[in-house]
Amino acid sequence: MGLPCTQCPLLYRRKDRNVNYYYRYRIHRNVDSIPFGKDGYTLVRAADEDRDYVLDCMRDTILQSVPKEEKDLRDLWIDDILQIVSNNMDTGVMENEAFILRNGDGNAGMLWMGVSKDQYTCEDTGYLLGIFVDERLRGQGLGKELIRSAERWCSSNCLMSMTLNVGSVNSGAQRLYESMGYKCQSVVMRRMLK
């Protein structure tokens, strides 16, 4: 593991004879965009007027990630989930910021990033809270470029890793993440009780 960028104060403590690094962070909000590697597209910080678009993207992302039986019951839970998303965007329970992927035709996608703690090491990690590519534009490598932009966001915020969750039924996203070197760290299991 390397040292953080020079903008970030370094805190450390000793455990046994090894040094574990803990980073105190604040998102470096000094840029209005993240570099994006596809011509004709820009990834810009979401403005207040983009809120409904971000929530619509999160709705689609969530619905792509749940099994059919849960998706069929979405009217019972999706508004609650979107309220939690909205509250997280407002309250900053987790340091976070959203970006909109734009092209000449308007909005093409969304990236929502945050900072969390690794569940095993407790080190700060970039957290992919949401990612979305407009259905008409899929299959052109935009998802892969959004991931690369997310990784650049993490690096610019002195984060040494990026973590994400993916629904078990979202096999396309799983293949994308695995092709980019992401590995399964844990498996969440659930059983419905009567």
Would you state the pLDDT for residue 10? 42
Would you state the pLDDT for residue 106? 94
**Region of residue 20 (phi > 0: left; psi between -120 and 50: alpha; otherwise: beta):** beta
Would you state the pLDDT for residue 13? 35
**1-45 tens-digit pLDDT:** 344 454 554 443 333 334 443 334 455 555 688 889 999 999 999
Domains and their CATH numbers in the chain: 28-179 (3.40.630.30)
**150-190 tens-digit pLDDT:** 999 999 989 999 999 999 999 999 999 999 999 999 888 88
**Region of residue 92 (phi > 0: left; psi between -120 and 50: alpha; otherwise: beta):** left
Better pLDDT: 79 or 20? 79
Which amino acid does the sequence have at 15?
K
Better pLDDT: 100 or 35? 100
Would you state the pLDDT for residue 184? 92
CA-wise closest residue to 85 among 59, 46, 64, 108: 59
Rounded mean pLDDT of 61-87? 94
Better pLDDT: 13 or 89? 89
Other CB atoms within 10 Å distance of the CB of residue 138: 12
Answer yes or no: is pLDDT of 73 > 80. Answer: yes
Would you state the pLDDT for residue 93? 74
- DSSP class of residue 94? S
**110-152 tens-digit pLDDT:** 999 999 998 888 899 999 999 999 999 999 999 999 999 999 9
What is the chain's mean pLDDT, rounded? 85
Would you state the pLDDT for residue 79? 96
Other CB atoms within 10 Å distance of the CB of residue 20: 13
Kindly report the pTM of this predicted structure: 0.83
